[in-house]
Chains A and B, each alone.
Chain A
């Protein structure tokens, strides 16, 4: 049950090894989170993340093998998670890859892989978990979108398009779930220093996984529909969205 401060007691993480997801779960463990299932492909990485949570006082931590790109895995995961957690307070959607833009542009398979991981597969899993939350009558999705999807850039438009799709899908799911009592919080981080961005130079208003986690906790406290991290990105992208294409294309980075 999410309490009056929006704090969950049980959570499933889709993409349990994500640096941002791990930081969010750590922050929630300091509050009320006691049961977690970490789902993903990298069993060794999941085990490491699970150990970290146990040390933080999360009493029940489990891992589940799940691949966003496997259409048959979603229903099984939902059933497994419901069996283990009882009530699912939080579904943290963090599965995603940055992909290699150059490879994508020459290899359709790479494009499909990025889109399937970040959008198609995740959307299918969200549909399955959405049905669960609707029947519970409570619970919340936290969906890691990105400012990269708010206005897509030449430099990473496959990734940006996947996040734009996910963001739009999450907005629709939020409206669909609203009457049931369940909800969705969309998180739009800017440039975050993680394994995903390692070796790349930070963009303006860069933040850390811990910074995003703190913003997400604040967002949950007020049942926010959208969390920008850091918050001023909301204003920046309000402007950037309106820029004429001729100027947008010439922006550095």
Chain B
């Protein structure tokens, strides 16, 4: 296992031109804290700030702006990569094979030491959020298809427990970065005067889950009750609502150790994408989830835009559904196996950064450029030095021989910081 969080310094930056060079262990949280007050934002922000730049590259993470800005590696102009055959600076132009094999390559082409990232200019640390409710899946998809392109950021929270006519009822939240003029205008309309610091960025952990509650706190009943409340409390329509970056992008980060809520057995993340013309697969997946009463506390639907050239990069044009499911849910293993087949048959794939249980036989069908990726990896790691649990489990890497002692054989076990999506 390689922990890169010690390599987190800012190496270089040009904030007039809008780029920064950082150690790969720098977290997006640290970047935002230093950059947002200066008028810059990370190009892609997932649902948590607690991911490293190296992890963001290894998983080629996406955010609520994928339909407008693409995934993280589209904004990486250069990186310093330590491979078993040498350390080299690569760009998408200088070594496109290795660059795009590393983008989403789950850390198995080398260890990213530094990366240069293009930033997004912002005027304030606020988002202008439009919220609307959709009564069912068709309504939700129609609203997203019709108007996502008008927003930089878009995401829908879906009630995965609702069944029948309510299947897929959801709350859409779509947003732009607020300009100073936007905030001034809203302040005037609300009759407020005086200066508000509109560039501050100092999100705090509001509460901490102090201990792991007994199993079953998040069960179909409590999740159904929460979902009902969440859906009803959302405004039918509310526009230009100013929210902080943290509350729009990273609501869960405010609750320390929230993972404890899932009980001693924890939770399983599952995220897939299916092409736009395979909407039936999305519906089928939702129907299976709701009919089995598998309660996903967090279910998020999003439309992906164009993919980048990463061989194992997850996002591709289509619908993506992200789920956090209590691992103790009865019948979960079989249900997810069924969803894998639905997704594969529809020409989609699951997100490797979140995977912990995929049937390895499906990998090549989900990622048709797998063998090409393996060839490139073989070029920089001919002896198969870089291995990971994910790589072994899914057969991404060739089968390792016996390992009486990992250390004595000089094998590096690579596990990047977990990076999750929108």
Interface residues of A (CB under 8 A from B): 1, 3-5, 7, 9, 31-32, 34, 79, 82-83, 86-87, 132, 135-138, 221-222
CB atoms of A86 and B400 under 8 A apart: yes
A3 close to B328 (CB less than 8 A): no
B357: Cβ under 8 A from any A Cβ: yes
Residues of chain A lying within 8 A (CB to CB) of residue B332: 5
In the bound complex, how far is the Cα of B265 from the Cα of A87, in angstroms?
24
Q: Tell me if B400 and A3 are in contact (CB < 8 A).
A: no
Q: How far is the CA of A235 from the CA of B400 in the complex (A)?
A: 44
| B193 contact set on A, CB distance < 8 A | none
Q: Does B402 contact A82, Cβ atoms closer than 8 Å?
A: yes
Q: Can you sample 11 A-B contacts with CB below 8 Å? A: A3-B358, A4-B268, A4-B357, A5-B332, A9-B360, A31-B333, A82-B402, A83-B402, A135-B405, A136-B403, A221-B333
Residues of A with C-beta under 8 A to B401: 83, 86
When each residue 323-347 of chain B gets 1 if its CB lies under 8 Å from chain A and 0 otherwise, what string results?
A: 0000110001100000000000000
A82 to B406, CA, bound (A): 13
**Most chain B CB inside 10 Å of its own CB: which residue of A7, A32, A137:** A32
* B208 contacts chain A at the CB level, 8 A cutoff: no
Quick one: which of B356, B357, B392 contacts A87, CB cutoff 8 A?
Answer: B392
Q: A4-B357, A79-B402 are in contact. List 7 more A-B contacts (CB 8 A).
A: A4-B268, A4-B327, A9-B393, A86-B400, A132-B404, A135-B405, A221-B333
Q: How far is the CA of A87 from the CA of B406 in the complex (A)?
A: 12
B residues 197-213 in Cβ contact with A at 8 Å: none
B399 within 8 A of A: yes
Contacts of B328 in A (CB 8 A): 222
Q: Which residues of B contact A4 (CB under 8 A)?
A: 268, 327, 356-357
Q: Is the interface of A mostly helix, strand, loop or mixed?
A: loop
B359 within 8 A of A: yes
Central interface residue in B359, B360, B400, B402, by most chain A CB within 10 Å: B402
Task: Determine the chain A residues whose CB is within 8 A of the CB of B389 once the complex forms.
Answer: 1, 138
Chain A residues positioned under 8 Å from B404 (CB to CB): 82, 132, 135
Q: Chain B residue with minimal CB distance to A80? A: B402
Residues of B within 8 A of A32 (CB): 359-360
Question: Chain B contacts of A34 at CB under 8 A?
Answer: 360
Q: Is the interface of B mostly helix, strand, loop or mixed?
A: loop
What is the CB-to-nearest-CB distance from A96 to chain B, in angstroms, rounded to a whole number?
A: 28
CB distance from B211 to the nearest CB of A (A): 20
Q: Is the CB of A222 within 8 A of B265?
A: yes
The 3 closest A-B pairs by CB, nearest first: A4-B356, A82-B402, A1-B393
Distance, CA A132 to CA B402, complexed state (A): 10
Is the pair A137, B333 in contact by a Cβ cutoff of 8 Å?
A: no
Compute how far the CA of A28 lies from the CA of B246 in the bound complex, rounded to whole angstroms: 44
Whole-angstrom distance between the Cβ of B267 and the nearest chain A Cβ: 9
Which B residues are CB-close (under 8 A) to A3? Answer: 356-358, 393
Which residues of the other chain, B, contact A87 by a CB distance below 8 angstroms? 392, 400, 403
CB of B333 within 8 A of CB of A7, answer yes
**A4, A132, A136: residue with the most chain B Cβ atoms closer than 10 Å:** A4
B95 to chain A, nearest CB (A): 31
In-complex Cβ contact of A7 among B327, B357, B405, B406 (8 A): B357
Task: Considering the complex, give the chain B residue whose CB is closest to the CB of A57.
Answer: B361
Q: Which residues of A contact B333 (CB under 8 A)?
A: 5, 7, 31, 221
Chain A's closest residue to B400 (CB) is: A86
Closest-by-CB residue of A relative to B337 is: A31
* A223 closest partner in B (C-beta): B265
Q: How far is the CA of A103 from the CA of B89 in the complex (A)?
A: 76
- Which chain B residues lie closer than 8 Å to A222 at the CB level? 265, 328
Considering only CB atoms, which chain B residue lies closest to A84 in the complex? B402
Query: Once bound together, how far apart are the Cα atoms of A129 and B404, in whole Å?
Result: 11
Residues A135 and B403 in contact, CB atoms below 8 Å apart: yes
Give CA–CA (A75, B35) in the complex, Å.
Answer: 58
Q: How far is the CB of A106 from chain B (nearest CB, A)?
A: 46
A202 to chain B, nearest CB (A): 29
Contact string against A for B residues 357-368, beta-carbon threshold 8 Å, 1 for contact and 0 otherwise: 111100000000
- A residues near B405, Cβ cutoff 8 Å: 135
A residues less than 8 Å from B392 (CB atoms): 1, 86-87
Q: How far is the CA of A136 from the CA of B403 in the complex (A)?
A: 7
Docked CA distance A86–B399 (Å): 7
Minimum C-beta distance from B219 to chain A (A): 15
Our pick among B327, B359, B360, B406 for the contact of A137 (Cβ within 8 Å) is B406
Q: How far is the CA of A1 from the CA of B413 in the complex (A)?
A: 14
Chain B residues, CB < 8 A from A135: 403-406
Closest to A88 in B: B402
- Give Cα A32–Cα B333 distance, bound, in whole angstroms: 11
B406 — which chain A residues lie within 8 A by C-beta?
135, 137
Which residues 364-409 in B have Cβ within 8 Å of A in the complex?
389, 392-393, 399-406
Residue of B nearest to A217 (CB): B333
Complex alpha-carbon distance, A137 and B389, angstroms: 11
A247 to B87, CA, bound (A): 75
Determine the distance from Cα of A86 to Cα of B356 in the docked complex, in whole angstroms: 20
Q: Can you name the residue of chain A whose Cβ is closest to the Cβ of B265?
A: A222
**Which residues in B have their C-beta under 8 angstroms from that of A31?**
333
- With CB as the reference atom, state the residue of chain B lying closest to A132: B404
Give the complex CA separation of A199 and B406 in angstroms. Answer: 50
Interface centre among A5, A136, A221 (most CB of B within 10 A): A5
B residues 258-290 touching A (CB-CB < 8 Å): 265, 268
- List B contacts of A9 (CB < 8 A): 360, 393
- Residues of chain B within 8 A (CB-CB) of A221 are 333
CB neighbours (8 Å) of B360 from chain A are 9, 32, 34
* Complex contacts, A5 vs chain B, CB 8 Å: 268, 327, 332-333, 357
Q: Report the separation of the CA atoms of residues A87 and B360 in the bound assembly, to the nearest whole angstrom.
A: 16
Contacts of A86 in B (CB 8 A): 392, 399-403
Q: What is the minimal beta-carbon distance from A91 to any residue of chain B, in angstroms? A: 15
Complex Cα–Cα for A1 and B389 (A): 7
A219–chain B nearest beta-carbon distance, Å: 13
